[in-house]
């Protein structure tokens, strides 16, 4: 049989890699879209007392919490439901002491070519059953009732930030030792083989282990030689920061066996090559880092990563972006790449291939109703991606409530995308060994080049 088409495709991939370019993604189509309004709230204590309102939405929020700022996602308890994790609240340690750390169960009713409302509703966190609102049962909160964390938390104080000038810490926070956005800045979460949850934080950066109910199970775990300015050791003067503020574990994934985490820093560690981010392996069984490390190189137009999720035990998807939006000037760069830990370039960086350009998705049915057959996703931060099947991704933005500027000058909504990939993430037509030799002229490059011609 002839191998001409296979060789042509492989040759095109090799040419792009040799030239230092990024392999372009095959086409992607928006097959589902839903929107959660910016002003979506849950029961809880007053929040936003230390933050500033925006987009026509004043703060604080009396006797309620904002169901926004989604930074990570897990599959929900039943098909069509998802567990979304907001980050620390209002973006900083100094303004989020009254923002509770939670995960919410949601059900998007995707608008598709066949119908659907495009709305998002609350679901029961345990069963996935429909709920009328984000009340008890629709969320899970993080807490440290056994005082296992070494860091001081708001529940340890009578007044927020331990200042006599501030309001009293809400009684529910103190009595249940609930964790807030001044305690940890959680940006990623994964469930391990035992059903425990691991949260990736940016203040340490730390790994925080909880049970399925969000109760802390052990002391936080730091990373040797990597400390943010908000790390307790830096604050008390016993160590110096080696990582920029808010540059911790923005991305984290877990292997299919559920026994190995992979953490991805959002910023470059002092002394590392510019625009390279560390990926480190962590053994769930020993609860320690393995010593394995890889580097991820940001695109020339990229400034940050938003999420990382596993395709299999060595291939991952990574959201990469810059801070440009539709209204803030500059050119928005929002893409999803695939990496393979088995393949690195001459500088030691994992090779990446483009999966989706989130600023150029086909939308033939104009699902978001903007009058265009091309969909763009120009929000500042896009921090959640979940693989639904080999051809379908779920993607959502972090709206940084009450932040503005993604699509207009009002507070950004949270949009949920169901994206169809024309080529499967894990399927590849592999040329026979004779074809490799014919094209590459040596076995040393075979695995490296073959992996990077695969459609992701």
pTM: 0.88
CB atoms within 10 A of CB 412: 26
pLDDT of residue 25: 52
Task: Check if the beta carbon of residue 436 is closer than 8 Å to that of residue 453.
Answer: no
Comparison of pLDDT for 16 and 392, the residue scoring more: 392
What mean pLDDT is reported for the chain? 90
Per-position b or e across 351-379, b if 16+ CB within 10 A of its CB? bbbbbbbbbebbbeeebbeeeeeebbbbb
444 pLDDT band, cuts 50/70/90, is: very low
- Please tell me the distance from the alpha carbon of residue 137 to that of residue 171, in angstroms, as a whole number: 20
Spatial neighbors of 428 by CB under 8 A, at least 6 apart, are 450, 453, 454, 455
Mean pLDDT along residues 424-449: 41
CA distances from 302 to 20, 45, 324, 455 (A): 16, 37, 10, 22
- Please tell me the distance from the alpha carbon of residue 173 to that of residue 186, in angstroms, as a whole number: 17
- Please tell me the distance from the alpha carbon of residue 83 to that of residue 76, in angstroms, as a whole number: 5
Mean pLDDT along residues 194-221: 98
320 pLDDT band, cuts 50/70/90, is: very high
CB atoms within 10 A of CB 437: 12
**H helix and E strand count, the chain:** 5, 25
What's the pLDDT tens digit per position in 335-368? Answer: 999 999 999 999 999 999 999 999 999 999 999 9
Query: Quick check: 16 pLDDT over 50?
Result: no
Q: Show the domains of the chain with their CATH numbers.
A: 1-23+426-456 (no CATH), 27-422 (2.115.10)
Helix, strand or coil, per DSSP, at residue 174: helix
Mean pLDDT along residues 239-248: 97
pLDDT of residue 426: 78
Query: Quick check: 8 pLDDT over 90?
Result: no
Query: Quick check: 252 pLDDT over 80?
Result: yes
Can you say whether residue 211 is alpha, beta or left, with left for phi > 0 and alpha for psi between -120 and 50 degrees? beta
pLDDT of residue 14: 42
pLDDT of residue 447: 40
Question: What length is written for the chain?
Answer: 456
């Amino acid at each position: 049989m002839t191998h001409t088409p296979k060789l042509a495709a492989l040759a095109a991939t090799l040419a792009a890699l040799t030239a230092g370019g990024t392999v372009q993604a095959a086409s992607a189509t928006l097959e589902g879209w839903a929107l959660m309004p910016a002003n979506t709230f849950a029961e809880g204590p007053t929040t936003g007392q230390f933050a500033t309102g925006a987009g026509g939405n004043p703060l604080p929020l009396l006797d309620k919490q904002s169901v926004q700022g989604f930074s990570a996602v897990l599959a929900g308890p039943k098909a069509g439901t998802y567990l979304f994790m907001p980050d620390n609240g209002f973006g900083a340690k100094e303004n989020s002491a009254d923002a509770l750390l939670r995960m919410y169960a949601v059900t998007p009713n995707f608008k598709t070519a066949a119908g659907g409302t495009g709305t998002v509703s609350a679901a029961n966190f345990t069963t996935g059953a429909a709920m009328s609102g984000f009340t008890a049962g629709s969320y899970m909160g993080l807490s440290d009732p056994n005082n296992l964390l070494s860091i001081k938390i708001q529940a340890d104080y009578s007044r927020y930030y331990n200042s006599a000038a501030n309001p009293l810490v809400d009684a529910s926070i103190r009595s249940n030792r609930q964790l807030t956005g001044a305690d940890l800045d959680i940006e990623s979460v994964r469930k391990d083989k035992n059903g425990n949850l691991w949260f990736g934080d940016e203040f340490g950066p730390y790994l925080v282990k909880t049970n399925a109910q969000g109760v802390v199970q052990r002391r936080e775990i730091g990373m040797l030689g990597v400390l943010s300015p908000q790390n307790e050791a830096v604050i008390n003067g016993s160590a110096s920061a080696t990582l920029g503020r808010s540059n911790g574990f923005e991305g984290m994934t877990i292997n299919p066996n559920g026994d190995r985490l992979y953490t991805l820093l959002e910023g470059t560690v002092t002394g590392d090559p510019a625009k390279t981010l560390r990926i480190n392996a962590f053994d769930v069984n020993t609860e320690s880092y393995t010593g394995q490390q890889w580097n991820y190189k940001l695109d020339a137009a990229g400034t940050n990563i938003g999420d990382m999720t596993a395709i299999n035990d060595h291939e991952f998807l990574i959201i990469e972006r810059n801070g440009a939006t539709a209204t803030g000037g500059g050119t928005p760069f929002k893409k999803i790449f695939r990496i393979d830990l088995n393949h690195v370039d001459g500088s030691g960086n994992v090779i990446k291939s483009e999966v989706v350009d989130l600023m150029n998705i086909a939308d033939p049915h104009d699902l978001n109703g903007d009058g265009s057959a091309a969909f763009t996703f120009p929000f500042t931060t896009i921090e959640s991606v979940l693989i639904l099947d080999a051809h379908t991704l779920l993607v959502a933005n972090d709206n940084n409530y009450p932040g503005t500027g993604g699509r207009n000058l009002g507070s950004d909504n949270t949009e949920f995308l169901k994206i169809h990939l024309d080529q499967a993430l894990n399927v590849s037509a592999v040329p026979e060994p004779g074809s490799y030799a014919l094209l590459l002229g040596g076995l040393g490059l075979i695995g490296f080049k073959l992996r990077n011609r695969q459609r992701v």
